[in-house]
Amino acid sequence: MDTTARKISPGEAPMGEHEKNVIIGGVLLAMLLAALDQTIVAPAMPTIGHALGHANYLPWIVTGYLLTATAVAPLYGKISDVHGRRLTIFAAILIFLAGSVVAALAPNMLTLIVGRAVQGVGGGGLFALSQTVIGDLVPPRERARYAAWISGTWAVASVAGPLLGGAFAEHLHWSLIFWINVPLGLLAMFIVNNPLKKLPVAARRHRIDITGALLLIAATALLLLALNWGGSLYPWWSPEILALSAASGLFFAGFAIRLSLAAEPLVSLEVLGNPIVLGGTLSMFLLQAASVSLTVYLPVYLQAALGLSASESGTALLAFLLGTVAGATISGRLTARIVHYKRIALVGAALAAVSLAVLAFVAGEISLGPLEALTALIGFGTGMTFPVCTVSVQNAVDRAHLGVATGVLTFLRSLGGALGVAIVGAVALSYGLPLAGEGGQVSMPGGSADLFAVIFIAAAIFMVVSFVALLAMPEKPLHGGIAERPTMAPE
């Protein structure tokens, strides 16, 4: 069937609210798979290293997934604009499941890493496509309500991933980490199969800029390799890291040139030149840099400064994650009712930045209770900001560019997380902070917990710059309601 030329005919029945919710539930289930695979592997890494050998290559289990998932996100946005959401999301799920099977059956470390890289090719599409499909189904004014579902999906993955990974590796078998994806992925495809047929597909044919895609993938992969290896495998100023960084810069420059020369570039210059898209994606990039770096280094602080065990520090992180979900939920509901919705994000970014500054000031003497309250406020503030950034970017472009804009947003969100962890980690190591490996107990060797303030200061700087980007971003009335008065959410 040629899906590239299909449109919904006037005689077809419109999609009902139940069908919309079924589709959204299905794509979020698919996104949960990809999100889980960013967190479920870490607790099982020692077990996998013991079973397969070559434990020195264990970091590549995480890096291989991150490299491909981040690099392909913009490509999926364009492909879905050309061939339709249903075909593209099915392809992403099948690629993800194929990688899962390869990883589960891996007889050695190299095969496992290859399987993880294949998983990332599918997982990167699931991240981008879930938000794009929501953009297709509901108008921007109501779209922010569903951002809480996305935040909840990430929170579930952040909590359930380490718990499941540890339980499977300790009590059953590490390969179940990957086998569990197969029934869940097939279930997601079954749920969304028929409803997704009602989503319209672009009527005219497009060309995929393969050259631009390859340049972007190469540039991103080299950059993430430099960030992953810098400060761990090689010193930051070593020839290897400098060479990787220079090569990444050259490929990014080539990609920029390609955008101006291609007849139909991978990322439309019209999209990139939109000041709302620029402001929203930059703010999302910085938000994710702060959020992911906190989820990585807060447990380290809790163990080293407060003496919590590894499992206790994971439980203590719930305040931050639940705060994020609560903030996204409230922000989503307010966005449908407030004309100047950008103010919601500004309040959230300011709250998070101030709370981080307070935490940095009292890092050496705070007890667990007040710390949990502060991290909940930080999560609440960041949660308020995420939906507004997503809705603003999607609202700023027409439907023909929705997939591309969402793909760019997802790409920069993923890249922001990787860069944030690398930057904050480099700052922490320069101050001599004990950043132990995954799953290990961390202790503070004769140092002061005050030193951890640099982590919270770095995250606060990210939030302040994100606030500035939001402040400079123009505010466009949301489609789907009368801009001059609040609109109630649909039933």
What was the pLDDT predicted at 445?
47
What was the pLDDT predicted at 484?
36
Last residue of a domain, one of 208, 232, 251: 208
Last residue of a domain, one of 265, 296, 313: 265
The answer to whether position 424 is within a domain reads: yes
Lookup: tokens for 290: 């702060």
Domain span at residue 388 reads 270-478
The answer to whether position 420 is within a domain reads: yes
Contact 143, 53 (CB under 8 A): no
What was the pLDDT predicted at 491?
26
d(CA 350, CA 464): 7
Same structural domain, 219 and 95: no
For 378, counting Cβ atoms within 10 Å of its Cβ (0-12 exposed, 13-18 middle, 19+ buried), the class is buried
Task: Tell me the CATH number at 316.
Answer: 1.20.1250.20
Contact 309, 441 (CB under 8 A): yes
The angle, 0 to 180 degrees and rounded to 10, between the axes of the packed helices 45-52 and 109-137 is 140
Contact 379, 319 (CB under 8 A): yes
Same structural domain, 139 and 276: no
Same structural domain, 197 and 234: no
Lookup: tokens for 229: 């290896």
The answer to whether position 491 is within a domain reads: no
Same structural domain, 378 and 329: yes
What was the pLDDT predicted at 314?
63
What was the pLDDT predicted at 434?
56
What was the pLDDT predicted at 14?
54
Short-list 393, 21, 414, 10, CA closest to 195: 21
The contacts of residue 221 (CB under 8 Å, 6+ apart) are: 67, 68, 71
d(CA 199, CA 209): 24
The answer to whether position 485 is within a domain reads: no
Same structural domain, 399 and 340: yes
d(CA 200, CA 205): 14
The answer to whether position 490 is within a domain reads: no
Task: List alpha helices for 37-58, DSSP H.
Answer: 45-52
Same structural domain, 329 and 383: yes
Same structural domain, 466 and 433: yes
The answer to whether position 84 is within a domain reads: yes
Compute how many other C-beta atoms are within 10 angstroms of the C-beta atom of residue 263. 6
The answer to whether position 486 is within a domain reads: no
Task: List alpha helices for 197-317, DSSP H.
Answer: 210-229, 239-261, 269-272, 275-306, 310-316
Strand partners, 256: none
d(CA 313, CA 305): 11
What was the pLDDT predicted at 405?
77
What was the pLDDT predicted at 433?
66
Same structural domain, 260 and 279: no
Domain count, the chain: 3
The answer to whether position 489 is within a domain reads: no
Same structural domain, 429 and 377: yes
Question: pLDDT means per 10 residues in the chain (491 residues)?
Answer: 39 59 76 74 69 69 74 74 77 90 88 88 80 71 65 71 71 82 84 70 61 81 77 80 92 88 73 83 89 78 73 72 82 77 89 92 83 90 86 78 74 77 72 52 52 86 93 78 36 26
Q: In this structure, which amino acid lies at residue 235? A: P
Last residue of a domain, one of 208, 234, 255: 208
Same structural domain, 81 and 173: yes
The contacts of residue 188 (CB under 8 Å, 6+ apart) are: 26, 27, 29, 30, 33, 93
Same structural domain, 325 and 188: no
What was the pLDDT predicted at 127?
75
Short-list 182, 179, 16, 8, CA closest to 86: 8
Same structural domain, 204 and 214: no
